[in-house]
Amino acid sequence: METIEFTIPLNPRSKKNSQEIVRPKGRPPIIVQSKVYKEYEKACREYVPEMPIPIDFPVNVQYLFYRKDERRCDATNLQAALDDILVKYGVLADDNWKIIKSHDGTRVLLDRENPRVEVTIREV
């Protein structure tokens, strides 16, 4: 496999910090992703490459998260959100340890003018 590189020119979002509690009538409350996160996930689709078949062998997935502000965030939550997006859009078959062997090189950085996520996937 050759290295796959692409950029998502959106301010990175975490799933964990974008949740809402919904109380369906007559049922227990449930936690769902917020409208803001769902819009982010949907907007990412445009920038994620189409794959003939999802990657199902060991890879290193590196993310460079360039955020527009210095608000506290958890890099692992940002990673988890992007891992799920790559699975949802068919880049990865799954985000388990047999496929994503590492996130070596992943960083959270600041770029107020050009927030984005730079993604690099390499076979291990």
Give all domains of the chain, ordered by start, each with its CATH number: 4-123 (3.30.1330.70)
The confidence score (pLDDT) of residue 119 equals 98
Q: What is the pLDDT along the chain (124 residues), one digit of tens a residue?
A: 899 999 999 999 988 766 667 788 888 887 777 788 899 999 999 999 999 999 999 999 999 999 999 988 899 999 999 999 999 999 999 999 999 999 999 999 999 999 999 999 999 9
Q: Which of 65, 97, 68, 70 is nearest to 81 (CA)?
A: 65
State residue 12 phi and psi, 5-degree precision.
-55, 140
The confidence score (pLDDT) of residue 80 equals 93
